[in-house]
Amino acid sequence: MRKYSFASLMGHALRGNTRWRTAWRDATLKRQYDAVIIGGGGHGLATAYYLAKEHGITNIAVLEKGWIGGGNTGRNTTNVRSDYMFAESAALYDLALRLYEALAVEFDFNIMLSQRGWMTLIHNQHQLESAHHKANWMACNGVDGEVIDAAAVQKMLPLLNMSSSARHPIMGAFLQRRGGTIRHDAVAWGYARAASDRGVDIVQHCEVVGLEKRGNRIVAVQTNRGRIECATVGVAVAGHSSVIANMAGFRLPVTSHCLQAMVSEPLRPVLDHVVLSPATGVYVNQTQKGELVMGSVLDLYQSYGQRGNFPTIEKTLTAVVEMFPMFAQARLMRHWAGIVDVVPDSSPILGPTPIDNLYINCGWGTGGFKAIPAGGLLLAHALATGKQHALAQPFGLERFRSNRLVDEGAAAGIAH
Ligand SMILES: Cc1cc2nc3c(=O)[nH]c(=O)nc-3n(C[C@H](O)[C@H](O)[C@H](O)COP(=O)(O)OP(=O)(O)OC[C@H]3O[C@@H](n4cnc5c(N)ncnc54)[C@H](O)[C@@H]3O)c2cc1C
């Protein structure tokens, strides 16, 4: 292991490390691209990366109105899992998890994947039967998942309140051992660096404000930095999907909602799983820095206001302290919100739109971080070939017309 003297470390701290290279190029915006991706979140950046890597298309711009990862990708609670029930969803989300498992090596960049186990608590007989049902379905789909009893839960989570007089007593848990957390910023930065290395232009502070159509095709995007011609357009803007659809002249079955999260001050390591209570919708994990990351369900009203509120803080913390009474001693440090895109069946929308050369990736709602590698790969396929990838076919926009919904909300009992 390389050793540094105190003087050399101080030098790096004060001067910066002169050998570090910038992670991605500061691209000069061109006036024409083969593909324009709107949205520099995880899904948009991954789309650009897979377009370059899998299809050899590199004349691409990712246009981001703020900074990359500044939307939901950098605001989420970093949980990853693939515990879905339908075979279509299992194939999609487990592909994402498998790609994530290989990503650090592929990028030569530490995305801090921590497969510490995803645990959904079981509070009653109905949830116990549903958990067994789900685990069986997952086994049929070739995805890991199991039901553990209360004694096993207590052993894994010694601080959990297992009292029979708790508001929501605990009978056991559903556990996906391959679930866990990944550093969200690192995913955005890793994809940005890898895409930029392959020639993709990543353009921050460039907002798409209009779409120019000829016939049924988009010929150019209008931005706050001028007009850009393009052969195809990919859209991955999460909670702003219906805004872009409106510019293109069609409607999406998407509503935008605020989703909030918060972190405590750093604590010593006390929690090495991700724990969700379905009774309250509240979940918690502990970061490598020691902070408790806590989140809960959507704000029920529709909104583009990217800010939190005190009722949600109170509801979330009450539920966390019910689960882990000791956490009442920790102080809350930060709290924030993102705008997520909610669809009626809690499954994403991937692929073609009513516009010939415009393809979309949206509808991930509260759970699209875990899907980024698969969402990017499948949108790239649609953009490059003009065809739906087989794995994306069940998730086309068309399903809302033909009523072939993939209702994971009802099936797996999870928000997204
Ligand atoms: C509080 C919170 C907790 C969450 N927790 C989890 C979790 O634990 N696990 C999980 O799997 N998922 C979670 N999610 C959901 C997940 O974060 C999202 O589904 C996912 O990040 C969506 O990625 P994206 O790339 O599609 O969108 P984003 O990361 O939101 O990127 C879209 C980008 O498009 C840009 N944009 C919008 N309009 C324009 C325009 N006109 N021109 C140019 N750019 C534009 C935005 O600025 C934004 O950066 C959570 C979300 C929130 C808010």
Q: Which atom of ligand 1 is nearest to the CA of 340?
A: 53
Q: Helices in 198-346 by DSSP H: which ranges?
A: 241-248, 310-323
Ligand 1 center from residue 25 Cα (angstroms): 23
* 83 and 134 Cβ atoms separated by less than 8 Å: yes
* 62 and 45 Cβ atoms separated by less than 8 Å: yes
Q: What are the phi and psi torsion angles at 136 (to 5°)?
A: -65, -45
Q: Tell me if the domain spanning 30-78+185-254+345-411 has CATH number 3.30.365.10.
A: no
Ligand 1 center from residue 389 Cα (angstroms): 23
Residue nearest to atom 52 of ligand 1 (CA): 76
Q: Measuring CA to CA, which residue among 197, 179, 178, 199 is closest to residue 189?
A: 197
Residue nearest to atom 32 of ligand 1 (CA): 237
Ligand 1 center from residue 48 Cα (angstroms): 16
pLDDT value at residue 416 = 52
Ligand 1 center from residue 289 Cα (angstroms): 23
DSSP3 helix / strand / coil % (the chain, rounded to 5): 35, 25, 40
Low-confidence ranges of the chain (pLDDT < 50): 1
pLDDT value at residue 409 = 79
Q: Which atom of ligand 1 is nearest to the CA of 74?
A: 29
DSSP 302: B
Q: Which atom of ligand 1 is nearest to the CA of 66?
A: 47
Q: Which atom of ligand 1 is nearest to the CA of 70?
A: 49
pLDDT value at residue 8 = 75
Q: Where are the domains of the chain?
A: 30-78+185-254+345-411, 116-181+256-342
Instruction: Identify the residues whose C-beta falls under 6 Å from ligand 1.
Output: 38-44, 63-66, 70-73, 75-79, 207-208, 236-238, 240, 259-261, 295, 338, 340, 364, 366-370
Ligand 1 center from residue 193 Cα (angstroms): 19
CATH architecture of the domain with range 116-181+256-342? 2-Layer Sandwich (3.30)
The answer for 174, left when phi > 0, alpha when psi is -120 to 50, beta otherwise, is beta
Q: Helices in 150-225 by DSSP H: which ranges?
A: 150-156, 184-197
Ligand 1 center from residue 307 Cα (angstroms): 14
- pLDDT tens figures, 72-123: 999 999 999 999 999 999 999 999 999 999 999 999 999 999 999 999 999 9
Q: How far apart (Å, rounded) are the C-alpha atoms in residues 388 and 399?
A: 13
- Give the three-state DSSP class for 275: strand
- Burial code (b: 16+ CB inside 10 Å, e: under 16) for 172-206 equals bbbbbebbbbbbbebbbbbbbbbbbebebbbbbeb
Decide: residue 217, CB within 10 A, 0-12 exposed, 13-18 middle, 19+ buried.
Answer: middle
Ligand 1 center from residue 71 Cα (angstroms): 5
* 135 and 291 Cβ atoms separated by less than 8 Å: no
pLDDT value at residue 4 = 66
Ligand 1 center from residue 409 Cα (angstroms): 20
Residue nearest to atom 48 of ligand 1 (CA): 71
Q: Which atom of ligand 1 is nearest to the CA of 45?
A: 25
Ligand 1 center from residue 148 Cα (angstroms): 33
- Give the three-state DSSP class for 364: coil
Pocket test for ligand 1, best of 191, 235, 369, 370 (most atoms within 8 A of CB): 369
- pLDDT tens figures, 294-303: 999 899 899 9
Q: Are strands 146-149 and 172-176 parallel, antiparallel or unpaired?
A: antiparallel
pLDDT value at residue 396 = 98
Q: Helices in 303-387 by DSSP H: which ranges?
A: 310-323, 372-385
Residue nearest to atom 53 of ligand 1 (CA): 338
CA angle 292, 298, 299 (to 5 degrees): 115
Pocket test for ligand 1, best of 49, 67, 76 (most atoms within 8 A of CB): 76
* 363 and 343 Cβ atoms separated by less than 8 Å: yes
Ligand 1 center from residue 308 Cα (angstroms): 16
Ligand 1 center from residue 236 Cα (angstroms): 9
